[in-house]
């Protein structure tokens, strides 16, 4: 968290808000978040303009005008909140704030992070492909060229893996985490402990359909504000009201009125309905 719908929401907003702006100054309150010496970071970033805002998996990419790109990973609790010139600051703008970007037009971008797991990294723009190749990230699930055939082929590489763990492994598919893996598996009627080799063709298609339906719906509603997530305008996403199983342990299933359960798989939580998702 944030996952693909949340990060893509922020990307969409920042693409409209900061592209073309010149960075006048950067305050760094938590040096460990910047993965290079601060003098070098400031020298590269200050005076550059934002050319483009893109995304790969859960990583935001700010392409700069000087041939560098800044990579921002929000990890568990990171936020990027934009405020225009003269805008009144809210508590979420400055609480747990670790970086502030000051633009030439007097607008600002606040990067705050309660758990401090996020990072900022600089990579030469022409070396981005090589960087992400080393990261071994899986395909982007919202792209049109991500097909059922490709999904099925990726599944065949990990026959012994539990399907919940498969979905959240960024080497298999990019951008899916705890929230949407739970929702996708509920949509498909598949128990999170099922092993990939046990899945029938119809179940694989149902999981694939869930990916293609749930992620765009969550994106349309600007993601899920379960705990810390806010969009680039400091507002909560609206998909939480649509959640069927995630975060609903002990509550009644919205489909069958059974009880939602939670278990741990490899250190991560999985929420599911025993009646709707057979093991």
Q: Where in the sequence numbering do the catalytic residues fall?
A: 2-3, 58, 268
Q: Are 238 and 255 in contact (CB under 8 A)?
A: no
Kindly list the distances between the CA atom of residue 228 and the CA atoms of 6, 77, 144, in Å, as whole numbers in the listed order.
11, 6, 31
Residue 122, judged by CB atoms within 10 A of its CB (0-12, 13-18, 19+), counts as: middle
Q: How far out from the chain centre does Cα 25 lie?
A: 27
**Cα atoms in the 13 Å half-sphere on the side-chain side of 100:** 14
Gap between the Cα atoms of 70 and 127, Å rounded: 12
Bridge partner list, 63: 52, 69
Q: For residue 259, what is the DSSP state?
A: B
Q: Token digits for 174?
A: 């990019």
Q: Which two tokens stand for residue 1?
A: 């968290």
Pair 53, 62: CB distance under 8 Å: yes
| Lookup: tokens for 19 | 């592209």
In sequence order, the β-bridge partners of residue 64 are: 50
Max Cα distance, the chain (Å):
58
């Amino acid at each position: 968290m944030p996952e693909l719908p949340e990060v893509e929401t922020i990307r969409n907003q920042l693409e409209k808000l900061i592209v073309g702006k010149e960075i006048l100054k950067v305050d760094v309150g938590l040096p460990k978040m910047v993965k290079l010496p601060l003098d070098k970071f400031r020298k590269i970033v200050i005076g550059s303009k934002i050319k483009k805002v893109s995304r790969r998996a859960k990583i935001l990419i700010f392409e700069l005008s000087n041939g560098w790109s800044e990579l921002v990973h929000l990890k568990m609790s990171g936020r990027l909140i934009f405020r225009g010139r003269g805008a009144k600051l809210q508590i979420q703008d400055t609480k747990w704030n670790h970086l502030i970007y000051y633009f030439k037009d007097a607008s600002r971008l606040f990067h705050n992070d309660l758990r401090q797991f996020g990072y900022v990294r600089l990579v030469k723009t022409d070396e981005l492909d090589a960087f992400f190749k080393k990261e071994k990230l899986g395909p982007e699930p919202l792209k049109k060229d991500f097909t059922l055939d490709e999904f099925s082929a990726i599944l065949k590489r990990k026959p012994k893996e539990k399907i919940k763990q498969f979905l959240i492994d960024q080497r298999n598919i990019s951008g899916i985490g705890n929230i949407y893996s739970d929702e996708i598996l509920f949509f498909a009627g598949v128990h999170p402990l099922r092993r990939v080799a046990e899945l029938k063709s119809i179940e694989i298609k149902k999981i694939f359909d869930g990916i293609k339906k749930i992620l765009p719906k969550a994106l349309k509603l600007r993601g899920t504000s379960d705990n810390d997530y806010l969009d680039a305008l400091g507002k909560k996403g609206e998909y939480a009201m649509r959640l069927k199983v995630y975060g609903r342990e002990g509550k009644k299933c919205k489909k069958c009125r059974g009880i939602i359960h939670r278990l741990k798989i490899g250190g991560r939580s999985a929420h599911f309905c025993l009646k709707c998702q057979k093991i």
